[in-house]
Structure 1
Amino acid sequence: MELTTSSNIKVVTAKESKINSVDFENLTFGNVFTDHMLVCDYHDGAWDQPVIMPYESFTMDPSSRVFHYGQAIFEGMKAYKDDNDDVWLFRPDQNFERFNKSAVRLAMPEVPEEVFLGGLHKLLEVEKDWVKKGKGNTLYIRPFMIATGQGVIASPSNEYRFCVILSPAKAYYSGEVKVVIADHYSRAANGGIGAAKAAGNYSGQFYPTKLANEKGFQQVIWTDDATHTKLEEAGTMNVFFRINDTLYTAPTSERILDGVTRKSIVELAPTLGINVEVRPVLVSEIVEAAKNGTLKEIFGAGTAAVVNPIAGFSYQDTYYELPKLENSFAAIIKEKLTNIQHKLDTDTFGWTVKV
């Protein structure tokens, strides 16, 4: 895939860069931002000229619809720099398509390709120095759109702001991750917005996750809303289960986000000799597999963490520890996927896009 670029992007550069004040070896995920951001406003049924401008706060009316009715969506992407100082993106077309699917579901305007991908291309050219070489170094990309139209009537906004902000990053999670399988709270429901990357999906997770944290667990594995018998996502990630030598993951649905990392693993794993089955995964079979020793691994998959192994899980107050494996599928898959992203291995899938 080639990025669609646009000459119709205004660039206003910052007077001074803060890059030299940043400790790139000790970054807290999502706390440090680059010098510039992309902004594009929508009103009167059309998008304005995109502007790359210094990263700064902006003023909004207290009646802006995003505050009252939650019209807010986002994406998560990363940029990588290879040993030749070239900057690369990983499957940006998938994020662009999913962003607009989210927009449609929340009655928001779709963002044109030349604004989303073309604007991102130009922004990364401006901020190229913020993308550091070396495996594990990335530049996290956060495109988002919010409703800025004024008024508290319960209806979609007529004005919106699309932005892209950038944050240098290293590992998202560190240390051992233990999870609780939900048997009451739900992440999403059929007919709802679970398949959209809507801000409200994440705020709804915070309370159940807080309860899990208080019991010594880091995340929740969500189950279906109707029966709580089907395993769906892990925290903010898609989730994979290894029983014997087969990986299982749930099919995407109205409740499950169509993760870019997830679909990449489904394609990549068979090339590594790992069998993958996409089908509903039942709580009962995972508990039984944990009891009889056939459950070898559980791991989350997402842009920020890439692949995040899970050390054990609790279900209805019983804790099940997973075995510690030297050559885990999680480690093999993460190594190969990150090598492709960082251009250390040949990308036979055509996933990487040069900026």
Structure 2
Amino acid sequence: METMSNSIRVQRTSQSRLKEIDFSNLAFGQHIADHMIVAEYADGKWGEASVLPYGEMTMSPAILSLHYGQAIFEGMKAYKTSSGVITIFRLKRHHERMNRSLERMCMPPIPYNLFEQSLTTLIDVDRDWIPTSEGASLYIRPVVFASEARLGVKVSDQYKFVIMTSPVGPYYSKPLRVKVEETYVRAAEGGAGFAKCAGNYGVSFYPTQMARKEGFDQVLWTDAKEHKYIDEAGTMNVMFVIDGKLVTPRLTTAILDGITRDSILTLAKEMDIVVEERKVSVEELIETHKQGSLTEAFGAGTAAIVAPIATINIHGKDYTLPPTSEGSIQARVKKKLTNMRLGLEKDNHEWNFTLR
């Protein structure tokens, strides 16, 4: 059945997969909701978006994204608040970051109206896929990739914009063991580390797999020049509590401008927590751990929100942190952020975009 929502054509699936999903046991990204958004760019402009049943797409093996890496994505979340209202967290900030990624990869920006209408229409169609159990949400994955079929190193003239959604539970089920990476590099300053482009994740797989074979969950990336300063964790920004202050590496072109990172820093300041955005050296972590002033470490990202770090391995030695308590800084900022998303606390920043 086809209908129109705003200016977006909606073609609903004839067979929903919703009843196949065990919402009490949601592995991250395992299940994709019934529908997806698809829009195409050609002749210098974006065409109209359509909601289609989720499924395979036909494309040539010569599309430029497969050969030269023009592909970016975003990661967002939608929630049902305590009153049953559907919200998307920080929609405008995600749109701005996506367009920065597109610009870095020489790809055309997505107009805000197209982005907003596509998201809201898709989520409205698949609203029953939004889980309501504790720690669960609807993960949203917009992706843009070069679709022009041509062999030859060039900027593509054709692109596809697709949005998928997935009901998800917590990303990590236990505190993490992380290893400071001192050989391999995720990104260098002046590169594309700040962009959510596909290649950034592809280059991270090998050292991460090696770390997992050694019993670690993730790596902590260090700077490309000296391996002296902490950049970020494998799938998220990283934060430390040193001398009671919330400390995180300052942003560079090698570090993703995390939206959860920004949200936590904003809320922490309002909670009278001292925040420092600065260089954090590997040696500082060693020394402050010895002194007992390094009391917390955690990752911050859309998927994980807040992921406690239990152990940091540096130069082959484990440095264990105290167990996370309800009074810890990470627990307090996570609770405030979660309550705001779910409508349990006032959203003073208007971060929640409400579906009408």
Q: What band does the TM-score fall into relative to the shorter chain?
A: over 0.9
Task: Answer yes or no: is the 8 Å Cα contact 1:64–1:151 preserved in 2.
Answer: yes
After TM superposition, the score normalised by the length of structure 1 is: 0.96
**In the alignment, which residue of structure 2 is the partner of 1:334?**
334
After TM superposition, the score normalised by the length of structure 2 is: 0.96
Q: Determine if the alignment matches structure 1 residue 177 to structure 2 residue 176.
A: yes
Task: Answer yes or no: is the 8 Å Cα contact 1:238–1:300 preserved in 2.
Answer: yes
**Amino acid in the other structure paired with 1:334:** K
Percent identity over the alignment is: 43
Question: Bigger CA drift: 267-276 or 302-311?
Answer: 267-276
**In the alignment, which residue of structure 2 is the partner of 1:70?**
69
Displacement of 1:273 in angstroms is: 2.7
Per-residue CA deviation, residues 170-196 of structure 1 (Å, 9 max, x unaligned), is 101112310011111111011110010
**In the alignment, which residue of structure 2 is the partner of 1:160?**
159
Per-residue CA deviation, residues 203-226 of structure 1 (Å, 9 max, x unaligned), is 111111011111111100111101
CA RMSD after TM alignment: 1.1
Task: Answer yes or no: is the 8 Å Cα contact 2:324–2:331 preserved in 1.
Answer: no
Aligned length: 350
Write the mapping of 1:310-349 to structure 2, written as runs, cut at 5 A.
Answer: 310-326=309-325, 327-349=327-349
Displacement of 1:272 in angstroms is: 2.0
Q: Determine if the alignment matches structure 1 residue 211 to structure 2 residue 210.
A: yes
Task: Answer yes or no: is the 8 Å Cα contact 1:300–1:310 preserved in 2.
Answer: yes
Question: Distance in 2 between the 1:287 and 1:18 partners?
Answer: 50
**In the alignment, which residue of structure 1 is the partner of 2:275?**
276
Displacement of 1:325 in angstroms is: 4.0
Displacement of 1:276 in angstroms is: 0.8
Task: Answer yes or no: is the 8 Å Cα contact 2:83–2:343 preserved in 1.
Answer: no
Q: Determine if the alignment matches structure 1 residue 56 to structure 2 residue 55.
A: yes
Question: Distance in 1 between the 2:237 and 2:24 partners?
Answer: 28
Question: Bigger CA drift: 105-114 or 266-275?
Answer: 266-275
Task: Answer yes or no: is the 8 Å Cα contact 1:81–1:134 preserved in 2.
Answer: no
**Amino acid in the other structure paired with 2:331:** A
Question: Distance in 1 between the 2:341 and 2:310 partners?
Answer: 26
> What secondary structure is seen at the aligned counterpart in 2 of 1:10?
strand
> What secondary structure is seen at the aligned counterpart in 1 of 2:203?
helix
> What secondary structure is seen at the aligned counterpart in 2 of 1:165?
strand
> What secondary structure is seen at the aligned counterpart in 1 of 2:160?
strand
**Amino acid in the other structure paired with 2:138:** L
Displacement of 1:32 in angstroms is: 0.2
**In the alignment, which residue of structure 1 is the partner of 2:35?**
36
User: Which segments of structure 1 move beyond 3 Å, counting only runs of 4 or more?
Assistant: none
**Amino acid in the other structure paired with 1:332:** R
Write the mapping of 1:284-299 to structure 2, written as runs, cut at 5 A.
Answer: 284-299=283-298
Per-residue CA deviation, residues 68-104 of structure 1 (Å, 9 max, x unaligned), is 0111100000000023321001111011001011001
* Structure 2 spans left out of the alignment, 5+ residues: none
Write the mapping of 1:1-355 to structure 2, written as runs, cut at 5 A.
Answer: 7-326=6-325, 327-355=327-355
